[in-house]
């Protein structure tokens, strides 16, 4: 929780937390209710590394998801992690998008395509480092351009121009 306090302070955003041992579903319910009352359009909840292969943790995530829907029926949930975790998050929390963090290397970026292909979920945000400005909206065009060498992009553009002339 100290790390979350530090980041909330850096970002200048309110942090809703409870004491050790508090029910996570109750905390998220309070956070969503508070955010709705204050007119916020987003709540970020850290699920503290919920592992997709731990049934108890995924059951807790399902309970958290129900609490969010109870607090704000129009709310949508997003999950983060690689394919198998994303699949389990979708089952437990009805995820509607992905926040892909630790995208500071191209090998990690490869899962972005797989998440979209396997789940059909949009990638909404990406994290590219540890600084406050390193969480940003995902731009598919920029992402593709960063993965492909310039020569590959030029060849594709030339191919598309050639098709348009025919």
- The pLDDT tens digits of the residues spanning 90-149 come to 777 777 888 877 665 544 555 677 777 778 888 888 887 778 788 888 888 887 777 666
Least-confidence region, from 35-39, 83-87, 162-166: 162-166
Question: What pLDDT is stored for residue 84 in this prediction?
Answer: 67
Q: Give the integer Cα–Cα distance in Å for 87 and 91.
A: 6
Q: What is the pTM of this model?
A: 0.46
Mean pLDDT confidence for 70-81: 65
Q: Could you give the CA distance from residue 125 to residue 115 in angstroms, rounded to a whole number?
A: 13
Q: Which contiguous run of DSSP H or E holds residue 83?
A: helix 83-93
Closest CA to 71 of 113, 26, 40, 38: 26
What is the average pLDDT across 68-91? 68
Return d(Cα 108, Cα 73) in angstroms, integer.
Answer: 34
- pLDDT tens-digit series, residues 12-60: 888 888 887 888 888 888 888 888 899 888 887 776 555 555 677 777 7
- Choose between 10 and 74: higher pLDDT: 10
Mean pLDDT over 76-91 rounds to: 63
Q: Give the residue-averaged pLDDT of 147-160.
A: 63
Structure tokens at 5: 């306090």
Backbone torsions φ then ψ of 65, nearest 5 degrees: -60, -45
Question: Is the pLDDT reported for residue 66 higher than 50?
Answer: yes
If you search the block for the tokens 């969503």, which residue do you land on? 32
72 has a pLDDT exceeding 60: yes
């Amino acid at each position: 929780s100290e790390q979350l306090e530090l980041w909330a302070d850096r970002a200048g955003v309110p942090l809703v937390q409870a004491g050790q041992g508090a029910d996570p579903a109750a905390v998220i319910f309070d956070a969503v209710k508070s955010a709705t009352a204050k007119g916020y359009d987003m709540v970020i909840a850290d699920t503290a590394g919920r592992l997709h292969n731990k049934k108890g943790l995924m059951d807790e995530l399902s309970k958290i998801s129900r609490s969010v829907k109870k607090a704000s029926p129009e709310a949508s949930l997003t999950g983060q992690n690689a394919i198998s975790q994303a699949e389990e998050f979708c089952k437990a929390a009805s995820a509607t998008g992905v926040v892909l963090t630790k995208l500071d290397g191209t090998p990690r970026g490869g899962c972005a395509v797989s998440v979209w292909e396997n789940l059909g979920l949009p990638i909404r945000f990406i994290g590219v480092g540890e600084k406050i400005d390193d969480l940003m909206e995902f731009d598919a065009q920029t992402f593709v351009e960063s993965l492909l060498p310039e020569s590959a992009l030029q060849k594709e553009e030339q191919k598309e121009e050639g098709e348009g002339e025919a």
